């Protein structure tokens, strides 16, 4: 059993595209269904940094920083709106190894730089995981406009107010983790993305639609231990 984790998520860009639901279903395990908003499934790339990552109850000062970028979509099972991760690239080699072994998450080791300058975030990631398909992401992003509470906007709520995520373990089993945090505060955002080959590495063509961007300064999170989904009866 792996203990729950505490952490902070900071300086997030939510980069989101509407995509064909049938296409998305073809990329998902049979036990999960692509969630829809206005008839579309959604594909997202999320660069940010984790801060003070530690087992629950351990002092914050002993936590580690873990810059990360993930590729995800939105799914439902038993009426629960959730996230499904296709990949997560992160800086810390030990943390990546631990997440793959104990939380069954598709993490990949990458060299990542995140810097703040005049209110703008510069994010660069280059995957260096042995045997993995190469993936790079380079972007600058920043908030624009006024902050708002995500639950007040239907699309924003659909994309960010989710408190469970699923992954597929190497043995083919489906794992899930529940997360607990306050509701998101978001800003409209602008981003200049120079390079993104992560979508291609995960088997997706670059969507035709223009992305919808949101920025968040972040929030604090508690994540449960990873659990295996019992697909025949109940979860355990």
Instruction: Write down the domain spans for the chain.
Output: 5-228
Q: What is the SS3 assignment for 168?
A: strand
Q: Which residue has the tokens 């300058």?
A: 117
CA distance 27 to 215: 27
pTM (global) more than 0.85: yes
pLDDT of residue 231: 60
**pLDDT tens-digit series, residues 165-201:** 998 888 888 999 999 999 999 999 999 999 999 999 9
214, pLDDT greater than 70: yes
Alpha-carbon dihedral sign for residues 224, 222, 146, 118: negative
**pLDDT tens-digit series, residues 51-61:** 999 999 999 99
Q: Strand runs (DSSP E) across 128-163, as ranges?
A: 136-143, 148-149
Structure tokens at 45: 């790339």
Helices (H), 27-169: 93-102, 154-160
Backbone angles phi, psi at 225, to 5 degrees: -65, 155
Q: What is the CATH number of domain 5-228?
A: 2.40.400.10
């Amino acid at each position: 059993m792996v203990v729950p984790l505490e952490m902070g998520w900071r300086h997030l860009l939510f980069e989101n595209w509407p995509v064909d639901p049938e296409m998305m279903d073809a990329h998902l395990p049979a036990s999960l269904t692509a969630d829809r908003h206005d008839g579309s499934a959604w594909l997202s790339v999320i660069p940010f940094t984790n801060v003070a990552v530690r087992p629950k109850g351990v002092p914050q000062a002993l936590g580690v920083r873990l810059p990360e970028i993930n590729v995800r979509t939105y799914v439902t099972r038993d009426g629960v709106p959730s996230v499904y991760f296709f990949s997560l690239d992160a800086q810390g080699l030990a943390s990546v190894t631990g997440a793959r072994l104990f939380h069954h998450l598709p993490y990949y080791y990458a060299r990542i730089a995140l810097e703040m300058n005049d209110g703008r975030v510069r994010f660069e990631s280059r995957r260096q995981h042995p045997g993995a398909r190469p993936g790079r992401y380079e972007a600058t992003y920043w908030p624009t406009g006024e902050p708002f509470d995500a639950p007040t906007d239907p699309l924003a709520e659909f994309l960010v107010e989710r408190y469970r995520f699923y992954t597929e373990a190497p043995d083919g089993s489906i794992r899930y983790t529940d997360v607990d945090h306050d509701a998101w505060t978001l800003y409209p955002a602008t981003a200049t993305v120079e390079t993104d080959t992560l979508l291609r590495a995960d088997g997706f063509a670059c969507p035709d639609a223009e992305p919808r961007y949101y920025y968040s300064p972040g929030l604090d999170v508690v994540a449960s231990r990873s659990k295996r989904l019992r697909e025949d009866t109940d979860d355990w």
